[in-house]
Amino acid sequence: MRLRRIAVALSLAAAATVPAVVLAGPARAADSCVNQFTGASLTATLEGTNGPDILDPVSNAVVSAKGGNDVVRIFPGVRNVTICLGDGDDQVVSVDSFPTYRLSVMGGPGDDFIFGSTAADALNGGTGYDTIDGRDGYDTCTNAESTTSCP
């Protein structure tokens, strides 16, 4: 009986001194997004979820909107943004005034509304029934069923 108590005491002491190991799930690589000007695959710096999101990128951001009906808002002064829309009916819109720096946008399989900047943009609607308004600038607009201000 005494040996059993000692064995139990030693087991408890050992358990108290060994830190618990918490295993995380497998590491997940960040999404990538293809820049429509260069064709380069870039690592996303701002990712949405599989639900509806409002995404506000800063300059030099690479956006992966993912699923859901998302809105990507471009604020004045934001420049050099690469945007990849996901599944869902997504929108790229400007806030307060038209963006003045070029945008790279790749639409997803949903019915997307993509509004460009006053600079020369590369706007690709992807699959789905897409509407692109290039605004000013000499834009490249592809894979859209309805276009405005695209040469």
Q: What is the pLDDT of residue 100?
A: 87
Q: In this predicted model, what pLDDT tens digit does every residue of 22-38 receive, in sequence order?
A: 223 344 567 999 999 99
Parts of the chain with a pLDDT under 70: 1-29
Task: Characterise 61 by phi-psi region: left (phi > 0), alpha (psi -120 to 50), beta (else).
Answer: beta
Using a 10 angstrom Cβ sphere, with 0-12 exposed, 13-18 middle and 19 or more buried, the burial of residue 6 is: exposed
| Structure token pair of residue 142 | 């592809």
A 10 A CB-CB count for 10 gives: 10
- ∠ CA 75-80-83, nearest 5°, is 80
Q: What is the pLDDT of residue 27?
A: 46
Q: What is the pLDDT of residue 30?
A: 74
Q: What is the pLDDT of residue 23?
A: 28
Q: What is the pLDDT of residue 76?
A: 93
Q: What is the pLDDT of residue 22?
A: 28
